[in-house]
Structure 1
Amino acid sequence: MWEKFFTDFSFMENPELSDLRQMAKKDEIPNRYGIPVYHSKIKSRSAKFTEYHYEITPDLETLFQEVFQHYQSRKWIKVERNIGQSPENLFRQLYIVPSEYARLAFMMTHNNFDPVGQKDPDIYIAAFPDWPDRRILVFPNLHFTMILGSDYYGESKMAGLRMAMHIMREERGGIGLHAGSKIYRVKNAQGQLTERGALIFGLSGTGKTTISVNSHNLVAPEGVEILQDDINMLTTKGNSYGTEKNFYVKTDSVSSTPELQDACLAEDAILENVYVSPEGEIDFDNMSISTNGRAVINRRRIPNTSDRIDLPQVNFFLFNTRRYDIPPVGKLTGPAQAAAFFMLGESTITSADDPTRVGETTRVVGFDPFIINKPEKSGNRLYEILSNHPIDVYIVNTGKIGGLDGIKITPEVTLKIVENIARGTIKWQYNEDLGYEIPVEVPGLDLSQFDPYKIYGKEEYKNMMEALRNDRRKHLQQFPDLYDQIKESI
């Protein structure tokens, strides 16, 4: 029955961007930049309303029939797009939405690649934004997602990427990762110009985007090449395929990131749930519409981007975390420990998440809320890939040292650390209390103010880390199929 959604409605197929903009004109919020700004009814992803189904029950068949009958007289838009750029790892996506919600088709078309060549769809998404009940039904075996009752673009976008990540793990032997990607061209410790590919992980608020788009003020012949800001597909060969043509960025901090702000106010940007004053001024710092303002931006408007989105070789991972009790950076001991920290997905709750729980530890496997079923399969796959490729993995703390009122690790410090990671110029020493290596020397930085032993005292800090290690081990035990060597690495 579900296939009828893609065949039996009255479709306008693959309209041009300009036509979609015109169809969505009725929803635009006027502004002095003349760019499309939309306010959706639902302002964020509906994680609590997301269901995973591995068979179609009679109840679901009845639901399909009810939805079909309700919408069959409506006009529809069908958008066919590519997730990914390389012919070696494309995902063809078919997306349908009622024509009244042309803005969603507009954003989807702008965000992803043209469907070059003949290819059967890999992924199917049907959006019914004005259905009275909110339900996100994911059918992994069918590669189909049904979005009921949400008009938030991020729900449609991630429906495709979530399914692509699942296909990558289950059918293509790799793993989809919620991470940005870039290439560093820097002089190493021997003074030789070298290229180093990086994947940058982290929950919202941990500096993933800041690191991903930053130039580190490098001067030619040194420099960076920014590839992706959201989802990458890591293969067993140690390379990574990008997914999206453009970027979908959170706008709450773009006013302090000129590279992003300029792109967000360009003529080809699309803004979602961003405040516009009665005078038509766009204010990214005004959160009265939503704390989850978003923008689809042309990635080529960000300095240091190019036409390519794929990473030829991954050399290091950055696991961003925001904690109050660990040094600014640490180097993990090997593939098993890297997979363990991937499974831990550690950070702390910020005021944007829950003001009453600020500072509490939160854990999201792979820093990724989009893994479908058995997350330990992703941890095991990552271990297997890292065991066959020399990829270094680092924990980068962008929080504070000494608690909520402790010493802030500023973005400038973090960016200098990451630059030195790329150069390979940090001197490391194993720390028994943390269980991994920490710096003894970082060129251009004095990290002594961030020394937790000075802040907490040696004995207290040792006890703190022992309690944290026990808590981590307990957490990993909830994944029965996770490889033993991963569990034992903490």
Structure 2
Amino acid sequence: MTDPKSTITTKFVSQIDAFGIKPSKIHRNLSPENLVEMAVQKNEGILTTTGSLAVKTGKYTGRSPDDRYIVDDDETHDTIDWGKVNHPIPLDRFDKIFNKMKKFVEGKELFVFDGFVGADTENRLAIRVINDHSWQSLFARQLFVRPSAAELENHEPEFTVLCINDFEAIPEVDGTGSNVFILINLTKKLVLIGSTSYAGEMKKSMFSVMNYLLPKRGIFPMHCSANIGKSGDTALFFGLSGTGKTSLSADPNRMLIGDDEHGWSDNGVFNFEGGCYAKCINLNQEAEPQIWNAIRSGAVLENVVIDKQTLKPNFDDGSLTENTRAAYPLEYIPTAVFPSVGGHPKVIVFLTADALGVLPPLSKLTKEGAMYHFMSGYTSKLAGTERGIKEPKATFSECFGAPFMPRPAEVYAKLLGEKISNHKTVVYLINTGWSGGPYGVGKRISIKYSRAMVTAALTGALDIVKYRHDPLFNVDVPTECPGVPSEVLDPKTTWQDKDAYELSAKKLAQMFADNFNKFKNVAPEIINAGTKP
């Protein structure tokens, strides 16, 4: 999208004045070239041999979930699933921090991106992102949906993100848990972010906002990637960070809708974003060519180690963090579709990374089984995705994205079940985790095999094979899959110690059952579709 020659209008100035900030200078919707140039001049980052901008985010190289709060007010008090994920903060504390931030940025140079969340013009959200660093504005420009010149001229933001990296909270004064904060006010339609340079907080805070707003309109918000086949068939890939959403949806034989956040309306599927935010630790050109080739001029590399002499990225070096990232616009993926929308999905793939190495690599789910596994959201948190995670840790993340789901899991599962029934969608569970033993003993399942399983699911090859029923996990497992050795499909055969496998499998099945007990008022058929320890 070509930037308009002048984006500072009288209307925009009046909006900034009404917002209550008084910067010395403000830049609006600058081009990537201008933002990169300013970032280099300000020593915010360096240009690499790929042409991408490499930046370091300092202490915070992943999300800070314990520092994320939602304002508890009349709008949210009875609609948010308060607990260990959604922390409440009173309105007076929010207002106090907001006022301090406005005073802090007075007389400073700021950057604004005006655009949208959502490629579907009927269901998108107009947003404004205000930053104190040019590279963060570049990130916002590449990750959110960019406006046309006419849309920018008439832009009326419905939600604003004020992300000021240099502003720190004082916990004992401001009532936060640390100097970092991500505060969401759904009534005032405002997000405040401070003291962390990890850019993913901006995109995930707006994802949380969409996940709150859309269910009221009967739209299913999803933490998933999506693509389309040559025949127009849409597929969804659910899973937490590191399970393969980005890698497995970037298929050269299919068109990419998006890699992370989508909505499913009566019209079909639509991407929330205008870009991709791919993990790139151990990135391999042969295994992931689309991501590799997208890292070029205009892309942002977060915390990737750069050789000081050659300025070449070292994607195998995780010394800064395992959570190295590449942010780039969807246009950088040759197979991306525009606008980023698709029809109702024929196939859904749930992706999990089982660190115990006992879950079948591939299984087929009933509608009730899909709702059970969706609500369970079993996976392993992988190193670097959050602060403090050094090795895989088994966890249950509701809806394959609990950190971003403000409402109770039952709300989203109900929408999933309705969509599956209405559109006769087939659901598969694919484990991209460990085989031959748990983490530390076995090995990560080859991405080559995972790709073959996905291909079989999407092409209908799994419709004509035989299945065996796994009584413990209560799923149907194919006895064969094109491109995958049969022994890989049965995890027990890959373990040398069969007794150890049985103990670990029963342990995981019991973990599923214990976790599901927290859900109340769940239909018996959904409970019965779960594990049978």
TM-score interval, normalised by the smaller of the two chains: 0.7 to 0.9
Separation of aligned partners in 2, 1:430 and 1:470: 21
Query: Do the aligned partners of 1:407 and 1:450 also contact (CA within 8 Å) in 2?
Result: no
> SS of the residue aligned with 1:88?
coil
Query: 1:218: which partner in 2?
Result: none
Q: Distance in 1 between matches of 2:262 and 2:136?
A: 23
Moved more, 30-39 or 285-294: 30-39
- For 2:228, the equivalent position in structure 1 comes to 183
Aligned match of 1:259: 290
User: Normalising by structure 1, what TM-score?
Assistant: 0.86
Shift of 1:166: 2.0
Is 1:160 paired with 2:182? no
What CA distance in whole angstroms lies between the structure 2 residues aligned with 1:474 and 1:13? 51
1:20 aligns with 2:35: yes
Q: Which amino acid in 2 is paired with 1:180?
A: S
Residues 28 and 37, structure 1, Cα contact 8 Å, conserved in 2: yes
Letter paired with 1:20: L
| DSSP 3-state at the match of 1:317 | strand
**Is 1:283 aligned with 2:326?**
no
Q: Secondary structure at the match of 2:102?
A: helix
Structure 2 counterpart of 1:97: 131
Q: What is the alpha-carbon distance in structure 2 between the residues aligned to residue 272 and residue 407 of structure 1? A: 27
- What's the CA shift string for 1:354-409, capped at 9, x where partnerless? 99985652111122121114233222222222232211111101223342234653
Mapped to 2, the partners of 1:428 and 1:465 lie a distance apart of: 23
Alignment partner of 1:409 out of 421, 427, 445: 445
Structure 2 unaligned segments of length 5 or more: list them.
1-14, 74-89, 170-179
Output the amino acid matched with 2:529.
S
What one-letter code is carried by the residue in structure 2 that aligns with 1:409? Answer: I
Indicate the SS of the match to 2:161: strand
Whether 1:45 aligns to 2:63 is yes
Aligned pairs (5 A) from 1:63-102: 63-98=97-132, 101-102=133-134
Alignment of 1:13-412 (within 5 A): 13-25=28-40, 26=42, 27-41=44-58, 42-55=60-73, 57-98=91-132, 101-116=133-148, 117=151, 118=154, 120-133=156-169, 134-170=180-216, 172-185=217-230, 194-215=231-252, 223-236=253-266, 239-256=268-285, 257-264=288-295, 266-279=296-309, 280-323=311-354, 324-334=357-367, 336-350=368-382, 360-368=393-401, 369-404=403-438, 405-406=441-442, 409-412=445-448
1:6 and 2:12 are equivalent in the alignment: no
Number of residues of Structure 1 aligned to a counterpart in Structure 2: 468
Paired letter, 1:184:
G
Report sequence identity in percent.
22
Q: Which amino acid aligns with 1:309?
A: S
Q: What's 1:189 paired with?
A: none
Q: After superposition, what is the alpha-carbon deviation per residue over 1:35-69, rounded to whole angstroms, capped at 9, x for unaligned?
A: 32222233222212111112353333333333322
Check 1:267–1:351 CA distance in 2 against 1; reply closer, same or farther (3 A cut): closer
Indicate conservation of the 8 Å contact 1:112/1:245, yes or no. yes
* Partner SS for 1:480: coil
Deviations 1:318-360 (A, max 9, x none): 11112211222000022x2211101111123545579998565
Structure 2 residue 478 is matched with structure 1 residue 439: yes
2 CA distance for matches of 1:271 and 1:453?
Answer: 40
1:425 paired residue number = 461
CA deviations over 1:255-302 (Å, ceiling 9, x no partner) = 3423212211x2232222221222122222222333222222233333
Measure, in 1, the Cα distance between the counterparts of 2:313 and 2:482: 41
Counterpart secondary structure, 2:457: helix
Q: Give the RMSD, CA atoms, in angstroms.
A: 2.9
2:11 is matched with which residue? none
Q: CA deviation at 1:234?
A: 1.5
Worse-matched range after superposition: 2-11 or 436-445: 2-11
| SS of equivalent to 1:87 | coil
399-408 or 363-372, which deviates more: 399-408
**1:182 and 1:212 in contact (8 A); partners too:** yes
Q: Secondary structure at the match of 2:52?
A: coil
Alignment check: 8 A CA contact 2:146 2:274 kept: no
- Kept in 1, the 8 Å contact 2:35–2:134? The answer is yes
Which residue of the partner structure matches residue 3 of structure 2? none
What secondary structure sits across from 1:80 in the alignment? strand
Q: Deviations over 1:63-114 (max 9, x none)?
A: 333332232232333321112222122111111123xx12211221232223
| Deviation of 1:413 (Å) | 1.7
| Structure 1 residue 12: Cα displacement | 3.6
Q: 1:466 Cα deviation (Å)?
A: 5.4
Distance in 2, Cα, partners of 1:464 & 1:289: 33
Q: 1:30 to 1:470 in 2, by over 3 A?
A: closer
Residue type at the aligned position of 1:385: K
Aligned partner of residue 229 in structure 2, secondary structure: strand
Letter in 2 for 1:326: L
> Which residue is equivalent to 1:219?
none
Structure 1 position 201, deviation (Å): 1.5
Q: Deviations over 1:198-239 (max 9, x none)?
A: 111222332222211133xxxxxxx311221111112245x2
Task: Tell me the SS of whatever aligns to 2:162.
Answer: strand
